[in-house]
Structure 1
Amino acid sequence: TAYAEWEAVMPYVGIITADSEFLDWVAVTESRDWGWLAVSCATQEALVEHLRSLTHVLMPNGNAVFFRYWDGRYVLPILQSAEVNAAQLMPVIGRCLINGQPLDIGGSALKSARVFPWWEVSESLLNHLATESATTHINNLLKWLSEDRP
């Protein structure tokens, strides 16, 4: 993507074995902001390609915006929403653990051929998310204030 030089701040996708000490840590940590775990039958490369296709998403007005899929605060409510078919959004992920909550996605694809931006965020999803939490609105307002009104 055009953001390849941002590698230092990009999310990391790695393979965790069943006997990994990281999983022991996940089981006992109270922290919820370390990322999330996914179970996939796809190769690591196919998983990375699919996640890369979600770098940008399309808003109802047609604008492309960054999608923070790596941040459980944002992706969990989206995947849990009745407004979203989680298996279509994440077809290469069978199940996951996000912010300490297990979630069955149901994806079983070995590859996804999507090129970003392809996912169109519906107005109804935005309305649903706004009623669930004001976090995104507050974060966007703070960002706007810091950039445009220092």
Structure 2
Amino acid sequence: KWIKHPDVELDHEVADFYIEFMVWVRTRRASRKLSHYSEVPEPLSWPNLPSHVQYHGDNVGSRRREGRPYLEWRRPASSQVDRSQRLLATGRYADEEEADQEAAREALGCYNTEVRSWEAKRKQGAGKAAANSQAKRRSSRRPRPAALPAKE
């Protein structure tokens, strides 16, 4: 006997579903066993495949010629990236970006000594934080066996 789960909402009684299922099982058992798909009396009715959609892409070259906006990928190839520096999404290195921002501030005349000293302290603090994290990583490593030379 089937028992309905309390969270399930049915449009008929559980007994009706059980009867339908048993009719299906008896029909399946009474039918001839098939060993190959070509033995079926009638094929499955699949929905028709969608018609082919002709797509005419709009490449960057035509957009550039017409003066329309397009996505310009500025990041250099990974083989050309200097892995010792942080590369920004603009395709420029972080230190280049900071130098340009500083030059722009000086050109506008809004770059005073207080801002410079604050940025110097911030950079110095970032350097100390990086050194501390490297020291923590070094101290948490397991010691190397005596037979292997230590890498530097």
The TM-score with structure 2 as length reference comes to 0.22
**Bigger share in strand:** 1
More helix by share: 2
- Larger Rg: 1 or 2? 2
TM-score (norm 1): 0.23
The structure whose RCO (Cα within 8 Å, separation 6+) is larger is 1
